[in-house]
Structure 1
Amino acid sequence: MIPEFLSDGLLPKGIHETTWELFCARFGNSSRKRKELIKKIEVVIKILKEVGCQEFYIDGSFVSERNRPGDFDACWLRDGVDLSRLNQIAPILKHAPGVFKGIDCKQKYGGDIFQLSRLVPDPKNPHGRAITYLEFFQLDKESDGQKGIILLKLETINLEL
């Protein structure tokens, strides 16, 4: 289930699991840009399903109330993923096995996509411990609070390959 947006246009804190159908209905139809991004997210999901990925988390303006999000941010669970197969079917990954990243990724897939367990400096404590992208995505950079993100369990999604 996807909760209602808060007054700041973001989801309430937490990881909100939903189905592909509900995700598309809620976030994929209100503008041409959202429809374009949903198609690109679908491509990424097909690739990740093919290599055995089980969980895909979506963040950024795409899962906000914003009508025309610039892109989406996502991270995926590496457990069980055939990384050599991923590199075969998604050649953009050849320089950083298992990671969709950079301008080429944004152009091809419409967003920045990372392995969930990769570490990034904690913006609240840059000299302290690093945090995972999953933790990072749940930080509201404007309020220093927490926000919600979306979880799609890929084994529940039925898309034509």
Structure 2
Amino acid sequence: MLPAMVARPHSAFDVLPQGLHHVSLREFRDVFAYNDHRAWLFEGLVLACRALRQAGCGRIYIGGSYVSSKERPGDYDACWDPAGVLPSLDPVLYDDNLALERRQIYRGDLLIGGAHDGPAGENFRFLSRDKVTHEERGMVGMKLNILELLNI
């Protein structure tokens, strides 16, 4: 279960408290896909999660305005853990030259990076900070469960 959103100085929207908050995909949908626009973005996230899981990815992390109280975020910002991912992964999910195509297909920003130290964790750390204030804010972590992805 996710904690309540908190107000931050210099922020127009409430955000998750600092830290990584783990939920299921269903719980994530129930909390964040609460209007038509957010549901449309969520559909793109689910497509990305299915493609990532099919290639062996086990976890994804979501930050940015989608996991805030903003009524109409422009997209979602996520990074996925590269551990165990097979070379069969669609290049659109990792090739920065295909970022526009990635946004068109999956409706959000998807970066490589897990919640760990080292170069692979840089994108995670980037997404966990407010773009304006640079304060750390909460992110959501999800285990990519194949059965849940097929039934959502």
Q: Percent identity?
A: 30
Going from structure 1 to structure 2, the CA distance change for 1:21 and 1:3 (only over 3 Å counts) comes to: same
Q: Secondary structure at the match of 1:21?
A: helix
Tell me, yes or no, if the aligned pair for 1:11 and 1:149 is still in contact at 8 Å. Answer: yes
Q: Deviations over 1:57-91 (max 9, x none)?
A: 011111110111110011000010002x113xxx5
* Cα shift at 1:156: 6.9
Alignment of 1:66-77 (within 5 A): 66-77=70-81
Tell me, yes or no, if the aligned pair for 2:64 and 2:128 is still in contact at 8 Å. Answer: no
For residues 74 and 54 of structure 1, the distance between their equivalents in structure 2, rounded to whole angstroms, comes to 14
Alignment of 1:63-102 (within 5 A): 63-83=67-87, 85-87=88-90, 92-93=92-93, 96=95, 102=99
Q: Which residue does the alignment assign to 2:145?
A: 155
Going from structure 1 to structure 2, the CA distance change for 1:140 and 1:50 (only over 3 Å counts) comes to: same
What TM-score do the two structures reach when normalised by structure 1?
Answer: 0.79
Q: Which residue does the alignment assign to 1:32?
A: 36
Moved over 2 A (4+): 141-144
When Rg is computed on C-alpha atoms for both structures, the one with the higher figure is: 1
For residues 142 and 62 of structure 1, the distance between their equivalents in structure 2, rounded to whole angstroms, comes to 16
Structure 2 gaps of 5+ residues are 9-13
> How many corresponding residue pairs?
142
What TM-score do the two structures reach when normalised by structure 2?
Answer: 0.83
Q: Which residue does the alignment assign to 1:139?
A: 129
Q: Deviations over 1:118-143 (max 9, x none)?
A: xxxxxxxxxxx9x6101111112222
